Amino acid sequence: MRVYELAKQMGVSSTELMNRLQKLGVEVKNHFAAIEPSVVKELQAARSAGSSPQIEVKKNKPAGDKKPAATKQAAAAKPAKAQPASKPVAASDKAVKPAGGAAKAPAKPAPGPAERTPAKPAPKAGPKTGPKPVSRPQARQPEAKPAPVVAKPAPTQKPQPRAEVKVEAPAKEAQAAAPQAEKAKILEIPQAATVKEFAALVGKEPTAIIKTLLKLGELVTINQSLSADVIEILADDLGYEPKIISPEELEEEEEFEEDLENLVPRPPVVTVMGHVDHGKTSLLDAIRKTDVMSGEAGGITQHIGAYQVVLDGRKITFIDTPGHEAFTAMRARGAQVTDIAVLVVAADDGVMPQTVEAINHAKAANVPIVVAVNKIDKENADPTRVRQELTEYALIPEEWGGDTIFVDVSAKQKLNIQDLLEMVLLVADIKELKANPNTRARGTCIEAKLERGRGPVATVLIYRGTLRVGDAVVAGAVYGKVRAMSDDKGKTVLKATPAQPVEVVGLSALPQAGEELKVVGDEKEARHIAEERALKRRLIAQEERSRVTLEDLFARIQEGEIKDLNLVIKADTQGSVEAIKDALYKLNTEEVQIKIIHTGVGGISETDIMLAAASNAIVIGFNVRPDVNAQAMAAKETVDIRVYRIIYKVVEDITQALSGLLAPEIKEVDTGRVEVRATFKVPKLGVIAGCYVQQGEVDRNQRIRLVREGQIIYDGSIVSLRRFKDDVKVVKEGFECGIGLANFQDIKEGDILESYKLVERQRRLGE
């Protein structure tokens, strides 16, 4: 064991332990020197006994055989503190007598100093005690801990009050001062601090720290980071108790409850969602134009991803990225930006699949919904039918006794736009949206782009505090200093208040949408935090994926991590969806509730993956396949996709996962993607597909499936694979080929052929 390790165990400084070792006759050169196990045991035994007899014996060898006897008497007197009052008095009498005549009984006074030696302040009392040379070297003993135990019999020395004053009073002061000194010497040091930073914290010159490290065998420079062990040794050597602060603690801001006096109302943040061609963009344009027409100075010269409108002196912030894709992308990164969702439904079209998706996204984020029934100016418009259809999704109009606000509007004719804005403000009043502008700013990056001459430009929506030009900021693994800001009108601004969108220039790179931007002390701190986050992300990327999968579901249930199993279900027909839902709901247990957050008919899309990533859900596909974008997104977000062709297999897998009995997984690994560009009839072979390999490769010995409009039409094997009339085994990406399928002739132009192989994956220990 090394010196600094033993010192840490014993709760003393390394220097103090080195002094003890020297008194024991053990020579050590520095804090890194190794100590013999026998010496370690001796020191630990002395420490557990509450005294250091070994040191005293070695130090005072000339005192003869009577010295150990005296120490034994002192040790025997310790357990009986108040038992023999006469013995300590007699000892004190004998100890005081030599003060008058030092020539009498020179061996007897030894127990007196032995009792007094553990007290630390003995050097101060040295001049008063006079000619007792033995007490001085023993007063340097670092063992201050036994002092209260040995010195307690001193109050019994009432016949000699002078002896009490001289010995005990300084001891009490020292004992009281010692813990205060220890408390005052706690030193907070950032993790991986440089030599220069450490020197500044301890009030030393960097050269002195470098010299100390050089003696310890460490060759460092002034800007070199120090390891935690070296920091502890240095701090210990200087008499400090080090407390190393991690980057998370360093960047963590005090989260305190805002005083009600500091909270002021802020504008609501609104996102517009709905089905394709139901008028989302038209409604946003109508709101923007209405605001300009209402007399607001200037016009919108650029789109920055968000803008503000004013109604009766009150502002409303709109996220100018219509659709729930952007909404979910930000929520998947933990950003809860939206306060209110405006659901646009066309009066002539009614509820459509993406309308249902938007409702599910808003509900999953616990965001209140205001329904805007658009296109009421059309002849076949039926707002009542829209209301009726939405009641199936728990959106019941207020006029029908529900709590959802419906507004009939026409974006094209600009009808009832003001009414819609008033209803949005009404919902905002109910939510009592407030923020504290008098603190360091925090905001959310809505989008980011590179601009020629300006570099990385991020659109930031502030939700707390005030952002000012010159502030040092950090957003994810990106840092910088705010060089300039502009609002949604393109005007330069010097500060941004809560719920105000601004473009920020001065970041080191492009932050991701949904990243939190916050102000820190200075640019150096921002850079340190960003670098630590980047390192942490790299480490996380190397580790196993953390999202829930069927393989690790049971383990997470046992650990108490999961209470709800979130599922996204996509199937080829609505009947299949309902059958799967009914079967899965019967599997609910006390430990885990199955929660189906979204269902739909059709292929698995990128939107489904984004919703699953945001909600930590598993995607179940029945007779449908994910498209290319969905597969790429699933790989990026590590979302578990399960595709089935038999309903009971879905139920079986979920049941086994819940009970921890999931069998080894047989996984489909896609090897190639082929597009059918033409079809030919060949005698004896039937229909041959003229194909182009878009991705990967096609192997004649692997299985292949035919996908048409997201649905699996055929799953089988290849009987013919040719290039220029030659039979081949493999066709690589970027080449054309002819493919014939076994026992299947219904091949059409535009079909997608996916080749794959089945790989059995054994579950690893702990999964």
Question: Per residue in 727-750, pLDDT tens?
Answer: 899 999 999 999 999 888 889 999
Instruction: Report the C-alpha gap between 541 and 631 in whole angstroms.
Output: 18
Which SS3 state, helix, strand or coil, does residue 28 take? coil
Domain match, 283 and 412 both? yes
Looking at 412, 432, 452, which one is the last position of a domain?
432
pLDDT of residue 470: 92
Domain match, 656 and 682 both? no
Instruction: Report the C-alpha gap between 395 and 351 in whole angstroms.
Output: 12
Instruction: Report the C-alpha gap between 567 and 619 in whole angstroms.
Output: 6
pLDDT of residue 180: 45
Residue 593 in domain? yes
Q: When comparing pLDDT for 531 and 298, which is higher?
A: 531
Q: When comparing pLDDT for 557 and 136, which is higher?
A: 557
What are 265-280's pLDDT values in tens digits?
899 999 888 887 788 8
Residue 180 in domain? no
Per the prediction, the chain carries an average pLDDT of 75
Domain match, 160 and 204 both? no
Q: When comparing pLDDT for 422 and 150, which is higher?
A: 422
- Overall pTM > 0.75: no
Give kind and range of the element (H or E) at residue 753: strand 752-761
Domain match, 77 and 146 both? yes
Kindly tell me if the per-residue pLDDT of 89 is higher than 80. Answer: no
CA 146, distance to chain mean position in Å, is 46
pLDDT of residue 292: 47
Residue 547 in domain? no
Domain match, 463 and 574 both? no
Domain match, 530 and 575 both? no
Instruction: Report the C-alpha gap between 613 and 603 in whole angstroms.
Output: 17
Q: When comparing pLDDT for 495 and 142, which is higher?
A: 495
Instruction: Report the C-alpha gap between 267 and 286 in whole angstroms.
Output: 20
Kindly tell me if the per-residue pLDDT of 476 is higher than 60. Answer: yes
Residue 18 in domain? no
Give kind and range of the element (H or E) at residue 244: strand 241-245
Confidence of residue 503 (pLDDT cuts 50, 70, 90): very high
Residue 250 in domain? no
Domain match, 564 and 591 both? yes
Per-residue pLDDT averaged across 295-299, rounded?
A: 39
What are 184-216's pLDDT values in tens digits?
478 888 777 788 888 888 888 888 899 888 888
Domain match, 202 and 326 both? no
Which residues constitute the domain of residue 390?
267-432
pLDDT of residue 235: 85
What are 375-401's pLDDT values in tens digits?
898 888 888 999 999 999 889 998 898
Query: How many domains, in total, are found in the chain?
Result: 6
Domain match, 427 and 281 both? yes
Torsion angle (degrees, nearest 10) of CA 208, 211, 217, 219: 90
Task: Please check whether residue 244 is in contact with residue 219, taking contact to mean a CB–CB distance below 8 angstroms.
Answer: no
Kindly tell me if the per-residue pLDDT of 48 is higher than 90. Answer: no
Q: What is the DSSP string of 459-517?
A: EEEEEESBEETT-EEEETTEEEEEEEEE-TTS-EESEE-TT-EEEEEEESSPPPTTPEE
Query: What tokens were used for 561?
Result: 């991590």
Kindly tell me if the per-residue pLDDT of 678 is higher than 70. Answer: yes
Kindly tell me if the per-residue pLDDT of 359 is higher than 60. Answer: yes
Whole-Å CA distances, 406 to 19, 91, 277, 377, 475? 83, 97, 19, 16, 38
Q: When comparing pLDDT for 633 and 153, which is higher?
A: 633
Looking at 175, 196, 226, which one is the last position of a domain?
175
Per-residue pLDDT averaged across 3-29, rounded?
A: 81
Domain match, 636 and 680 both? no
Query: What tokens were used for 12?
Result: 């003393």
Looking at 637, 663, 689, which one is the last position of a domain?
663
Residue 9 in domain? no
Query: What CATH number corresponds to the domain at position 733?
Result: 2.40.30.10
Q: What is the DSSP string of 119-141?
A: -TTHHHHHHHH-S-TTHHHHHT-
What are 689-723's pLDDT values in tens digits?
999 999 999 998 889 999 988 888 899 999 889 98
